[in-house]
């Protein structure tokens, strides 16, 4: 499989700085740019678009519930019409900065709680698809790759939207092919060699092993990486080397 690395970027807000975007750009292929609801502000968005464009990185809109304080990690009770509207609002915002610089949004990725809610609730998934479809049918939606990919593809086709399937190389999966909760002590894998081997198996053999050693065959277009945890930039360099 031809697998790209995606990374969350543009998450600073005002004088508060988060992330090491300038250091990350040589090692990632796709940038999930925050659109102001869970992180970022207009100046940060504009600067991030400039940085990403100048490094020939594909631009994605990182959409979320309107939750700056919680970094978009808390579920909010919204009607389906509200969800469609908040997606459109964020797409329009980032698209303006992209258009001003002669580039465009290629895909959408939800953040935190909206990402999880979208994967659990088909109606929320459809509301997100509906918003993207009404804005630009050429924009893809990134979702978690699971053994149920075909069902998600079928739903997305109704809205003429293509999907990108994402894998988390440093997260443990259960035997059903779902991520183990981050509340569990073994949610993350910190052994760099083990994670590198997982990427190689995924690329060459199409599977990732569950926590219990079961082979889970899933489609993978992209792997999520970030340098905001204990593993950092050096870890991303190892993943990049293993992948290519």
Segments making up each domain of the chain, as ranges:
4-243
By C-alpha distance, which of 100, 76, 73 is closest to 86? 76
Per-residue pLDDT at 83 = 98
In CATH, what number does 4-243 get? Answer: 3.20.20.370
- Closest by CA to 131, choosing from 188, 178, 87, 163, is 87
pLDDT at 192: 84
Percentage, residues of the chain above pLDDT 90 = 73
Q: What is the mean pLDDT of residues 138-143?
A: 98
Q: Which of 26-40, 91-105, 170-184, 224-238 has the lowest mean pLDDT?
A: 224-238
Q: What is the rounded average pLDDT of the residues 36-49?
A: 96
Contact criterion met (CB below 8 Å) for 74 and 85: no
Tell the residue number behind the tokens 């991030």, with chain if given. 48
Mean pLDDT confidence for 147-167: 97
Residue 142 pLDDT: 98
pLDDT band, very low/low/confident/very high, at 220 (cuts 50, 70, 90): very high
Cβ atoms of 86 and 96 within 8 Å: the answer is no
What is the band of 229 on the pLDDT scale with cuts at 50, 70, 90? low
> Where is pLDDT greater, at 103 or 183?
103
Instruction: Inform me whether the pLDDT recorded for 85 exceeds 80.
Output: yes
Q: What DSSP string describes 201-243?
A: HHHHHSEEE-TTS-EEE---SEEEE-SSSSSHHHHHHHHHHHH
- Cα–Cα dist 46/42, whole Å: 6
Comparing 145-154, 187-196, 212-221, the range with the smallest average pLDDT is 187-196
Look at residue 231 and tell me whether its pLDDT is greater than 80: no
Arithmetic mean of pLDDT, 225-241? 76
Q: Which of 175-184, 186-195, 214-223 has the largest mean confidence?
A: 214-223
pTM, full prediction: 0.93
Closest CA to 177 of 222, 142, 146, 220: 146
The span from the CA of 9 to the CA of 26, in Å, is 13
What pLDDT does residue 228 have? 63
Contacts of 15 (CB under 8 A, 6+ apart): none
In the prediction, which pLDDT does 227 show?
A: 64
Q: Rounded mean pLDDT of 34-45?
A: 96
**What is the H or E stretch that residue 34 is in?**
strand 30-34
Q: How confident is the model at residue 169 (pLDDT cuts 50, 70, 90)?
A: confident
3-state SS class at 165: strand
Task: Tell me the average pLDDT of the chain.
Answer: 92
């Amino acid at each position: 499989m031809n697998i790209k690395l995606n990374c969350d970027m543009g998450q600073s807000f005002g004088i508060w700085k988060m992330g090491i975007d300038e250091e990350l750009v040589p090692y990632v292929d796709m940038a999930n740019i925050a659109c102001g609801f869970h992180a970022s502000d207009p100046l940060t968005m504009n600067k991030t678009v400039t940085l990403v464009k100048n490094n020939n990185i594909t631009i994605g809109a990182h959409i979320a519930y309107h939750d700056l304080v919680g970094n978009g990690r808390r579920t909010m009770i919204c009607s389906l019409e509200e969800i469609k509207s908040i997606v459109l609002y964020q797409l329009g915002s980032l698209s303006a900065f992209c258009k001003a610089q002669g580039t465009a949004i290629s895909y959408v990725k939800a953040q935190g709680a909206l990402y999880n809610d979208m994967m659990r609730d088909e109606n929320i998934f459809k509301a997100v698809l509906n918003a993207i479809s009404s804005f630009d049918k050429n924009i893809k939606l990134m979702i978690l790759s699971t053994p149920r990919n075909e069902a998600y593809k079928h739903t997305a086709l109704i809205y003429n939207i293509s999907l990108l399937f994402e894998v988390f190389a440093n997260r443990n999966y259960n035997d059903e092919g779902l991520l183990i909760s981050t509340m569990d002590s073994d949610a993350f894998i910190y052994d760099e060699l083990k994670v590198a081997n997982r990427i190689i198996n995924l690329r060459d053999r199409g599977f990732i092993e569950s926590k219990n050693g079961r082979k889970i065959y899933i489609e993978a277009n992209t792997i999520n990486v970030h340098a905001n945890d204990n593993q950092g930039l050096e870890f991303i360099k190892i993943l990049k080397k293993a992948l290519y």
